[in-house]
Structure 1
């Protein structure tokens, strides 16, 4: 079961993405979600299949959401992951004096 998917990035939240079936575009995405997401910026199109691996998402969950609701929302990683990768000197700048 291959799906041609369009991926949109959010202008409001870094690393938040919306996956939709290319044939449906944004038609099945609830208006409230689009308002919270912001004006979607098309990032790229991608062919998804159960064999494909995604960097941060479970492909089976993405495909399930696309079939059931017409979209999949990829949330940004928790902020703790960002902090772990910051250089030590940046972290020291925020230390209390």
Structure 2
């Protein structure tokens, strides 16, 4: 599975993963608006063996499949995209 990663210029250390490049229509307006301008930073393959620095790749893949996006928040912010 390919993922396209964008950095929020309004929210420090907040990243948006999309399953399709520039598919911002996948985001509900209430999610999109607070992010402000988004800058493309990376394309990556989310394989079974892929490791990510601050996110569980299995959770990212599940959110991309279920919602079309995944938000990665700064480590000090509770992540609502993760169950529990």
Identify the TM-score tier after normalising by the shorter chain.
Answer: 0.7 to 0.9
TM-score w.r.t. the length of structure 1 is 0.72
When normalised by structure 2's length, the TM-score is 0.83
Instruction: Quote the residue 2:13 is aligned against.
Output: 15
Is residue 9–residue 18 contact of structure 1 (8 Å, CA) maintained in 2?
yes
Structure 2 residues without counterparts, runs of 5 or longer: 78-84
Aligned positions, number: 77
What does residue 51 of structure 2 align with? 53
> Any runs of at least 4 consecutive aligned residues in structure 1 with deviations exceeding 3 A, and if so which?
none
> Is the partner of 2:65 in helix, strand or coil?
helix
CA RMSD of aligned residues (A): 1.6
Instruction: Note the residue ranges of structure 1 that are not aligned, 5 or more in a row.
Output: 80-97
User: Which one has the largest radius of gyration?
Assistant: 1
Taking the aligned partners of 1:46 and 1:16, their CA distance within structure 2 comes to: 17
The one-character-per-residue Cα deviations of 1:44-80 (angstroms, maximum 9, x if unpaired) are: 111111210101100100000000000000001118x
More helix by share: 1
